[in-house]
Amino acid sequence: MKSSRLFSPGGAVNALMRRIPSSAFILIIALSVSRISAEEVKVLKPVTPVPAAALSEVFFKTVPDSLEDLQAIEKQVTSLTELSIHSTVSVRVGDAQGSGVIIDNKAGYILTAAHVIGLAQKNATIILHDGRTLKGRTMGLNRGMDAGLVKLVEDSEIDISKLSQVKMGDISKLEPGEWVLATGHPNGYQAGREPVVRLGRVVSRKKHLIQTDCTLIGGDSGGPLFNMKGEVIGIHSRIGPATSWNFHIPVSAFQDDWDKLVSGDMWGAKPLGQNAVLGVNGIDSDEGCKVTGVTRGFPAEIAGLKANDLIIQLNEEKITGIEQLAEVVQQYKPGQTVQLKLIRDKKTILVEVQLAARD
């Protein structure tokens, strides 16, 4: 009964709709988090250098200002759409339905969003751009970042190595204003409709999140964001109210933790749930709560908290110890942002943390 609902249009849409709140919800976490931790720079895994394609001048302008500029954009965009569409897939895992992109047709790897696949080692159904269906298996996922990996299962009829694939790009120099292309399955896979193309620009670039004005909606989650070389630079994750509030996790979330994702590791805190969690271990001290450790992938770690930080205040509330801190956190809901006052190296600092959900 459940599966039939999923495959009927109504059921599919419902499944999608359920994705939306988590989307917008997660959004808040990563937004404020990325602000505070923007100074931390992780070394990116090396990517295959792309030959310096002769991109038109317009792509380096603040705004196009002539018909020629617009024609140049159009020429570039229309040259990219076919491969972008052909590498985009629909990803279904249980009740959830989203999108994904094939980045390796030898191993059958598909990038998607963690909230689309939910768990590692689950069966997935992959629908190609032309409606052909393949089986897949979910691999690792970073729930905090919302990065998920799926692997295609060998098929007797479809030669996976013949499928269209795209490369992951180097996003170390990605800046606001860059033109980008989004594909995916808004409102879920619809027979007879290929992946839907949207053009936009990078609105802002944070460590953990790329914002664009490529409009997204439920069902797009996990779909690819392309640069003007046709490389994947982001994966659709969540949206906010305005049409320019569309958020994509940077592809570095996959590049940085590639081996862990391939090994099927699952880490990070879910953004949605009943009880809020910060992800710190600590001990009572005279002045507050002394941090002894932070949980991998949880809000405190993402926000940059470290062992030996002394938490003395959460919003307006004075913190006196670990248990009292836990109680104070429980007054909030997952997704809310709280401000922590810390003492680190004898300096008082303020850190904003977006709370996540306890499992």
Partner 1 sequence: MLLSHDQKNRSKKSISVQSLLAFLIVPVFAGWLISTGYAEDQLQPSQLTGGSQIRKAFRSVVSTPRSWTVRIRSNGKEACLGAIVGADGWILTKASQLEGHLTCELSTSERHEAEIVGVDGKLDLALIKIDAKGLPTVKWQSAIDPRVGQWLVTPGLSMSPVSVGVLSVPRRAIKPEPGVLGVRIDDAKGGALVKQVMRESGAEEAGLQAGDVILNVAGEDIESASALSNFVQKFLPGDRVLLKVLREKEELTTVVVLTDPQMLIYDRLREMQKKMGGDLSRRKTGFTEVLQHDTVLRPEDCGGVIVDLKGEAIGLNIARAGRTKSFAIPANHVIPMIEKLKLKQYAPYNPVKDAKEHTVSTNTSS
**Per CB under 8 A, does 92 bind partner 1?**
no
What is d(CA 340, CA 352) in angstroms, rounded to the nearest whole number? 6
Interaction of residue 191 with partner 1, rule CB under 8 A: no
8 assigned to active site: no
- Angle CA 73–76–82, to nearest 5: 130
134 contacts 142 by C-beta, under 8 angstroms = no
Q: Classify 331 as helix, strand or coil.
A: coil
Query: Which residue among the candidates 22, 23, 221, 237 is catalytic per the annotation?
Result: 221
* Piece in contact with partner 1 (CB under 8 A), picked from 121-129, 190-198, 283-291, 295-303: 190-198
* Among the residue ranges 111-119, 134-142, 209-217, 324-332, the one whose residues contact partner 1 (CB under 8 A): 209-217
SS3 300: helix
From the list 23, 32, 115, 185, the catalytic residue is 115
- Write the CB contacts of 112 (distance below 8 Å, at least 6 apart in sequence): 91, 98, 99, 100, 101, 148, 149, 150, 221, 222, 235
The span from the CA of 279 to the CA of 296, in Å, is 8
| DSSP type of residue 321 | S
Q: Is 27 near partner 1 (CB under 8 A)?
A: yes
Nearer to partner 1, 197 or 253 (CB): 197
Respond yes or no: is residue 257 known to be catalytic.
no
Say whether 129 is catalytic: no
CA distance linking residue 29 with residue 166, whole number of Å: 29
Question: Do the Cβ atoms of 200 and 19 come closer than 8 Å?
Answer: no
- Residue 200 and residue 214 in contact, taking contact as beta carbons nearer than 8 Å: yes
Interface residue with partner 1 among 6, 12, 30, 32 (CB under 8 A) is 32
Other C-beta atoms closer than 10 Å to the C-beta of 281 total 14
Give the one residue of 7, 50, 57, 66 binding partner 1; rule: CB under 8 A.
66
- Selected binder of partner 1 within 47, 153, 158, 240 (CB under 8 A): 240
At 91 the three-state DSSP class reads strand
Note whether 215 binds partner 1 by CB under 8 A: yes
Q: Which is closer to partner 1, CB of 220 or CB of 309?
A: 220
Is 65 a residue that touches partner 1 (CB under 8 A)?
yes
| Footprint of partner 1 (CB under 8 A) | 5, 10-11, 14-15, 17-18, 20-21, 24-25, 27-28, 31-32, 35, 62-67, 69-71, 73-74, 77-78, 80-81, 85, 176-177, 181, 186-187, 192-194, 196-205, 211, 213-217, 220, 239-245, 272, 335, 337
- Could you give the residue numbers annotated as active site? 115, 146, 221
